[in-house]
Chain A
């Protein structure tokens, strides 16, 4: 298991590093913050002072080295906007995103499992049609439009819910419903498909013939085997949500990491942007490893053999189904 973990960490570390370096370089391409933070009539001297004070006059690799040196000392720099520590700002915004993403994913998974299994049991039944319709909507309706129409109907016309903010529980309804559509629409089809194929397996016949109740057949025998593909896709969807639902967060004024990121991009607040990207990258990294572990826990066939390089051929063969499945799944909307 440890070898598996080590290999997984090593192979994910490279993209992580490239993303952080890329964000660093790209952010600096957007221009000098001096032109945003100093008054229009600032003298050349003031600009130069500002640039020098924030270390922006150094060549980019010197800035990068300083930044990584700071990261090692857990010093992520200060916001140009507020002078606050960038890490504190990112950490303050993160729980809001996590709460939103967590609640949405939990609801999506539970609903998708229930509706998906029901649809698989009765193809062309009512649940099947509802889930097809929602999946189609999930792949076709732009989330910002859905959010705006939700505000128009429920907040402005009916006056049931607040238009934005993070007040009471009612403020959660519209953001969650908007975010829920896509994960649910994708997941329900995955669960349905996996359930249809696992319900036609011989072991289901066996379970039925030995007299297991229909509920037990579905929950214990079929669902357990259908869980693997659903888990992979749920993981991918969760990654998307943790990355910050920028659109939904900015429409509903939700103080999450996505809103922080887009704000700091527009304000050229480099330190905050880097801290936010680093934080989400690390949490996505952890999430991915958890998904892989969960996957291995569910399906003995993809459990790592623990054999290192030498048996790489067989190692690859055992790891292949997981990867292949993952790849295939991503081709569906």
Chain B
């Protein structure tokens, strides 16, 4: 007892040979991380849909990073003599290829600036809820008992709370800033990770390899860190990719209802809302920002579907096959 062989799981060969089937993947010493990444990247290149999706997301990310600087003041420069210019005309230069809005501002420039706002809300919100929700859920699922019950009740309460009301209150009480919207979205989405992580970790904590670690006297936190989290992580990351879509849509909806991003800031959802009153005369004001949302979320969804297969050792072989006409879909296994 005094010297629990903490490193038993890392024994070169002996430890592994005894491991019951199904646990090898976990008991194996971790393969070189860089090597793993390269293999994953090769898998990605093999899948045409997933590569395009990843490319789109990279372009969107780069646009958000560097776009606003490149655009300069183009997004705010008004020209009341040329309002609501129709799209697809080169007469006024590339900046007006998607037309101009009701104040004569370039649609392209506004879309680019909105990309940054939209992503700077969605990414932190997903990150915060992923970290908090996952750690909490894994902890609750590992310990079970009262900690689990209380956590699940809290999740129930948060889930059943009208998040719109929460948003309006935060907006009224505090300043309507992007940071507050991030906070609301993060808090309301924590239960999703909490529930998933709890379910997975509750199942894992009864498995043999966790039992073995416990028998050797490993501390709960160490077991969670070294044996539970690595197994749960792929599921949670895939979930986070899907959640990115949800959060983006939620932010757009809030902005659309007038309780999200406030002018003069601009996000895709807000642009759709602002274009709504010109629907009869200038459809492009609402159409293009909405299209930007759709393209980004579709790309994230496709990538999530691919990730789900690629990170699942039992299904990865599918991706190495010479491809027939494969359709991106949620594998039946996930659904049940």
Interface residues of A (CB under 8 A from B): 14-16, 18-19, 22-23, 26-27, 29-31, 124, 128-129, 132, 135-136, 139-145, 148-149, 151-152, 156, 189-190, 192-194, 196-197, 229, 243, 246-247, 250, 261-262, 265-266, 273, 277, 281, 284, 324-325, 327-333
Main secondary structure, interface of A, reads helix
Cα–Cα distance between A18 and B198 once the two chains are bound (Å): 23
CB nearest neighbor in B for A331: B196
Instruction: Flag the segment in B36-44, B80-88, B242-250 that touches A.
Output: B242-250
Cross-chain pairs A/B with CB under 8 angstroms, 23 sampled:
A15-B157, A15-B160, A19-B157, A26-B166, A27-B169, A136-B302, A141-B297, A142-B252, A144-B252, A144-B253, A145-B290, A148-B272, A148-B290, A193-B331, A196-B332, A246-B164, A246-B257, A262-B164, A281-B160, A325-B336, A327-B195, A329-B335, A331-B196
Q: Is the CB of B279 within 8 A of A152?
A: yes
CB distance from B155 to the nearest CB of A (A): 10
Closest partner residue, chain A, to B302 (CB atom):
A136
Interface residues of B (CB under 8 A from A): 153, 156-157, 160-162, 164-166, 168-169, 172-173, 192, 195-196, 198-199, 235, 239, 242, 245-246, 249, 252-253, 256-257, 269, 272-273, 276, 279-280, 283, 286-287, 290, 293-294, 297-298, 301-302, 325, 327-336
Provide the residues of chain A in CB contact with B325, threshold 8 Å: 124
User: Which 10 pairs show the lowest CB-CB distances between chains A and B?
Assistant: A193-B335, A145-B290, A140-B297, A193-B332, A30-B172, A140-B298, A327-B199, A26-B169, A132-B329, A15-B156
Docked pose: A331 CA to B164 CA in angstroms = 22
A residues less than 8 Å from B164 (CB atoms): 246, 261-262, 265
Residues of chain A within 8 A (CB-CB) of B173 are 29-31
B245 to chain A, nearest CB (A): 6
Q: In the complex the two chains form, is B334's CB within 8 Å of A331's CB?
A: yes
Which chain A residue lies CB-closest to B153? A14
Cα distance A26–B161 in the bound complex, in angstroms: 11
**Is the beta-carbon distance between B327 and A142 smaller than 8 angstroms?**
no
9 more contacts with CB within 8 A, not counting A265-B165, A328-B196, are: A15-B157, A30-B172, A141-B297, A142-B293, A145-B290, A151-B279, A152-B283, A229-B336, A333-B242
A144, A194, A196, A324 interface centre (most CB from chain B within 10 Å): A144
CA distance A324 to B172 in the complex (A): 39
